[in-house]
Amino acid sequence: MAAVNALDEQPDFVVFTGDLTQTTDDRKLRRDRMAEFRDIVSQLKVKTVRFMPGEHDASLDRGEAYQEFFGDLHYTFDHNGVHFITLDNVSDPTAAVGEKQLQWLQADLKQLNKDAQIVVLTHRPLFDLAPDWDWATRDGAAVIDTLLQHPNVTVLYGHIHQEHHHMTGHIAHHAAKSLMWALPEPGSVPKKAQIPWNPAEPYKGLGFRNVEAQVPQARYEIEEFPISRG
C-alpha cells in the first residue's frame, strides 16, 4: 500500500497494490471477503482510494468478482499533474499482461506529451526479480520497452510484501512492505513461504509507504513506515 502526497500536502489518496483478499475456490466466500475489505477501507479518511487486483483477487476467475466490487482491472487517471497507469498482470493465470492490454498501453502513451510525468501501478514486478517464486511478469520486458520511450516513468508494485528498489534503464521500480503476511527476501530461503509469526514481534516485516511527489522535478521521495502497536 502507498499513501501518496502531492506538493507537501497531507496524503490525498491511497493506493492498494493488490491482494486485497486471500485466495479461495468458493465463489460466494470470495465475494464476501471483497465486500468485507471494501467496508473496512471505506473508513479511510482520505479523498480518494485506488485499487488494483492481485493474483489472490483475480487469477481464479480472471477478475470477475473483483470487477463487481472495484471496477476495471486496468485503467488510467490523472492527479495533480501526474498520469497514472494501472496495469493488470494477475487476471491472466500465466502472469502476463497480454497483447490486448499492451496495445491499450501503447495507445494511451501516444496521447501523452513525451515529457509527461507517468507513474505505473502494477501488482507483480515487471522485471524478473525471482521467476521461480512467481515474482515476475511473463511479458514484462515488452511492457518496459514500451515505457522506456518516455523519460519520466516510475513504477510502484506490490506482490513481494517487502521494500525493494530496482532500475530498468531510467525507470525506477519500487515495492513496499505489506500490511500483513510478511515474506522473505528473494532467494534468501530455499522455498518461498510466509515468515513465521512471532508473538514477541507481531509486526516484524510489515509496513506501508508514503510517497511525496515533487511533480515539476519528476521526483518521488519514498518513506517506509513499520506497523507498530498503538
Position 76 scores a pLDDT of 97
Q: Phi-psi region for residue 218, left (φ > 0), alpha (ψ -120 to 50) or beta?
A: left
Mean pLDDT, range 93-120, rounded to an integer: 95
Q: What is the DSSP string of 11-70?
A: P-EEEE-S--S---S-HHHHHHHHHHHHHHHTT--SSEEEE---HHHHTTTTTHHHHHHH
pTM: 0.85
User: Which of 11-15, 25-29, 130-134 shows the lowest mean pLDDT across its residues?
Assistant: 11-15
Model pLDDT for residues 122-144, shown as the tens digit of each residue: 999 999 999 999 999 999 999 99
Rounded (10°) angle between helices 140-147 and 99-110: 10
pLDDT over 80 at 27, yes or no: yes
**Residue % of the chain over a pLDDT of 70:** 86
Position 6 scores a pLDDT of 39
C-alpha cell at 138: 511473463
Model pLDDT for residues 145-183, shown as the tens digit of each residue: 999 999 999 999 999 988 889 999 999 999 888 777 888
User: Which of 12-16, 117-121, 142-146, 224-228 shows the lowest mean pLDDT across its residues?
Assistant: 224-228
Name 223's Cβ contacts closer than 8 Å, sequence gap at least 6: 209, 210, 212
Q: What is the DSSP string of 71-140?
A: --SSEEEEETTEEEEE---SSSTTS---HHHHHHHHHHHHTS-TT--EEEEESS-SS-SBGGGTBS-TTH
